[in-house]
Amino acid sequence: MIDFSVPGYILRSGSGLDRALLLQFMQRTYRELYPYNRYSHLAETVDRYLSPDTPLWWVESSETRTPVGCLWLGNVMDQIRGDRHAYILLLYVHPHHRRQGIGSALLHQAEEWAIDRGDRQIGLQVFCQNQAAIDLYQKMGYETQSFWMNKALWEEGRGK
């Protein structure tokens, strides 16, 4: 068990054996923002990126030992400086357990892991309509570095 500063919760390390639970948490986070989409393709993301090099942590209620939060980290290359750095692939806290410091504590966990391995920065992607997450990240010192822009090239019913 890892020292975790949120009363009533514990943090434990995950592993490749947690593939199904990780997929479930990824689907939850996307369904909150986009409830009508299908997310079966996320299994490919988990298959491709879950490894010993991409650490995973679970927050559990100390009372029920039920997972209520998740942090999954990956590795990316800073395209400006060429440095490897940590990337938050997933940070999720169940809605009934939010606003209790779990998200902040998970961000601290991510930052400590990155510092311990010598990274000089940590990054993440957040959807622009997820204002609660944006507020948390800004409060924790994260700044916008770039914008991810998309253009649909194919419309339903239009064909190719």
Report pLDDT for 115.
96
Structural domain contains residue 147: no
Give the pLDDT mean for 125-151: 91
CATH number of the CATH domain containing 71: 3.40.630.30
User: What is the total count of domains within the chain?
Assistant: 1
Question: pLDDT tens for residues 86-134?
Answer: 999 999 999 999 999 999 999 999 999 999 999 999 999 999 899 999 9
How do beta strands 84-93 and 122-124 pair? parallel
Structural domain contains residue 150: no
Structural domain contains residue 115: yes
What is the pLDDT of the chain when averaged over all its residues?
A: 92
How far apart, in whole angstroms, are the C-alpha atoms of residue 100 and residue 104? 9
Structural domain contains residue 106: yes
Question: pLDDT tens for residues 24-42?
Answer: 999 999 999 999 999 999 9
Structural domain contains residue 69: yes
- Burial label, 68 (beta-carbon count in 10 A; 0-12, 13-18, 19+): buried
Structural domain contains residue 87: yes
How far apart, in whole angstroms, are the C-alpha atoms of residue 97 and residue 116? 28
Report pLDDT for 159.
58
Residues counted in the chain? 160
Please say if the pLDDT value at position 74 is more than 60. yes
How far apart, in whole angstroms, are the C-alpha atoms of residue 52 and residue 16? 8
Report pLDDT for 1.
56
Report pLDDT for 154.
79
Please say if the pLDDT value at position 72 is more than 80. yes
Structural domain contains residue 67: yes
Structural domain contains residue 155: no
Range of the domain at 60: 9-139
Report pLDDT for 79.
83
Report pLDDT for 11.
96
